[in-house]
Amino acid sequence: MSLDLVAMLAGVFGIPIALLLLGHRLRRRTTAWRGAFWGALVAHVVIAPVAMVAAMRPAAEWAPTDAVRGAIGFWSLLLGPALGAIVGALIGRRRTADCVSAQIRR
């Protein structure tokens, strides 16, 4: 089993299971945590159809130097939600800072 296949399987099965577990009691979490959760979820939902189409291209169309297909078809399912979680956490943290500064001004 190649590393690309392991990354794709982790993205197809591992990420949804992790999101299911991490979404438990989401309302009680910090805004950064909620932002990370929603960022990862949105990124996974957006990237999944694109990755599946790229991964299912017929083998006759593959080339030995087809790095874009490998990146999109195999690695995007794993790396996309991680990037979405980072962006979501930063946005959630910024919203918290905006709320705190608005309360101080009152």
- CB of 8 within 8 A of CB of 74? yes
Q: Count up the domains in the chain and report the number.
A: 1
Say how far apart CA 15 and CA 38 lie, in whole Å: 13
Q: Which domain holds residue 86?
A: 3-105
What's residue 88's pLDDT?
A: 92
pTM: 0.78
Say how far apart CA 95 and CA 78 lie, in whole Å: 26
What are 84-101's pLDDT values in tens digits?
A: 999 999 988 776 655 555
What are 19-72's pLDDT values in tens digits?
A: 999 888 888 888 888 899 999 999 999 999 988 888 787 767 777 777 777 788
What is the chain's length?
106
